[in-house]
Amino acid sequence: MVFSSVTFILGFLPIVLLGFLVLASFGQRRMAAGWLTLSSLVFYGWWNPWCVPMLATSIVANYILGSYLARNPSKIVLVLGIIGNLLPLLYYKYTTFLLTNIDTAFGFDWHLNEIVLPLAISFFTFQQIAYLSDAHDGAVVEHDFLNYCLFITFFPHLIAGPITHHREMLSQFGNPENFRPRFDNISIGLTLFGLGLAKKVILADPLGTVASPAFVAAADGQGLPLLDAWGGALAYALQIYFDFSGYTDMAIGLGLLFGISFPPNFDSPFKARNVIEFWSRWHMTLTRFLTAYIYNPIVLRATRARAAAGKPLPRRGKMTPGTFLALVAWPTILTMFISGVWHGAGWQFVVFGVLHGAYLVIAHGWRALKASRGWKLDDDRLLPHASSVLLTFVCVVVALVFFRAESVPAALNLLAGMVGLHGVVVPASFANLPLVAQVVASQGLAVGAGQFVQIEDWATILALLAFVWFMPNTQQFMLHFRTALGWRGRPAWVQAILPAMTWRPAPIYGVALGVLSFFVLMQTFSSAPTEFLYFQF
């Protein structure tokens, strides 16, 4: 059951919401929380009921262990608890990958049975590891079992995030005010859900039909010419952008229907001026988790080791290469390696993570150099700003080729096409233009239709890139109303010119969104639903 399916929209959601509103209207907060927990388990078990006992066992075991750690902090127990959470993740997600590589390396000719990956295992594993760590550190103040169950299972975020933190969620589940039906929450929640559904069905899914053939051809060893290679890569970059953005909007909207705010998880990442900013905008809750529970502890340990060795900490803007390597480069590379492996079992995901780690090290190094020279860190003038955004975007697209490709060789094959090693085919509709014709003749370029990405596909890609770069995102569109938890976004520059691009509870917006939702629902109901891309992680 996916958010964009008929079963969810016309069956599951109305029933669950009606039951919640009835119980909440009579002040039955505990029963409403229990109803949501049971409904979420049904939602989770819709794909594979056999996964529900594993999830339930994980919840009970981590709750008991967290309660123990809160009363009796123990490093040994904490480490054993973390290992206990990681072992199922390692088994289900990485066993086949490891055995396949061993088989390939030594030629054992093993017959490997497929291991079915339980949905959301990466997400609820991270959440529960954070809970254990904070319980050990005395940072957990809420120990209600029902609220904890709802914190882990709440269906809007269960499958693909946001990766929520116990502190921000348990307090909401324990607040009776959040269990009182509010028309504004329902109105805003449905608006966000509709906008997210439109991104998924109208934008992301059609882009997938453009990107997939190009990546399949690259995996089969076919050399793609320049425009086809770039078209496939850009189509996928936009597909995952709108797919994940749409899921985030739908998840936040669904949470609001039940009075719960999720943390922001997506903030126009393709507008980022550097990769540091990109990761503060893309999958924001994953970045938050990696920073708090992996990067910061590594840096803290390295800092203490240097202090014990009598090495002073660097002053601001005065970092030696050795210090930069120990406190920035090494922790960053390791953290992003873990991020890449978390996303999937395959060497292409390792390359994706390490590549982003290298991007971040270069970005931090450049900023450290500018700080040491007293240069301005960010130049807001139009040309430097636009150049930074474009360079960051190209770096992200290159990394996403590895993220999407079936293997490292397939990714390298597509990248070879993107740098022109497989030739250039100029669309016939452009070949007769005076300037283009001269270039075609002088360089001996081939003329013809793109094999995978046609001229109309390019028009769509360019239009959507303009939309991504210049239009307000959903949170900015809903600027004056409660959406994501603690959201403090600024309005987009275009909203100062066109105030109408800011949502208000007025009839004109209701009609416009109603018409959009009608067409989106017709499209949704007329085709088979497709899973969100992050469901596989």
* Catalytic residue ranges: 343
Q: DSSP letters of 433-444?
A: SHHHHHHHHHHT
Which residues have CB under 8 Å from 480's CB, separation 6+?
502, 503, 504
- The amino acid sitting at 156 is P
The 3-state DSSP class for residue 282 equals: strand
CB 231 within 8 A of CB 184: no
Alpha-carbon distance of 329 to 322, in angstroms, equals 10
The 3-state DSSP class for residue 263 equals: coil
Distances 227 to 213, 247, 388, 447 between C-alpha atoms, Å: 14, 30, 23, 12
Classify residue 518 as exposed, middle or buried by CB count within 10 Å of its CB (0-12, 13-18, 19+). exposed
Which residues have CB under 8 Å from 536's CB, separation 6+?
117, 344
Alpha-carbon distance of 412 to 396, in angstroms, equals 15
* Omega within 30 of 0 (cis) for the link into 427: no
Q: DSSP letters of 216-282?
A: HHHHTTPPPPHHHHHHHHHHHHHHHHHHHHHHHHHHHHHHHHTT-PPPP-B--GGG-SSHHHHHTTB
Alpha-carbon distance of 258 to 29, in angstroms, equals 12
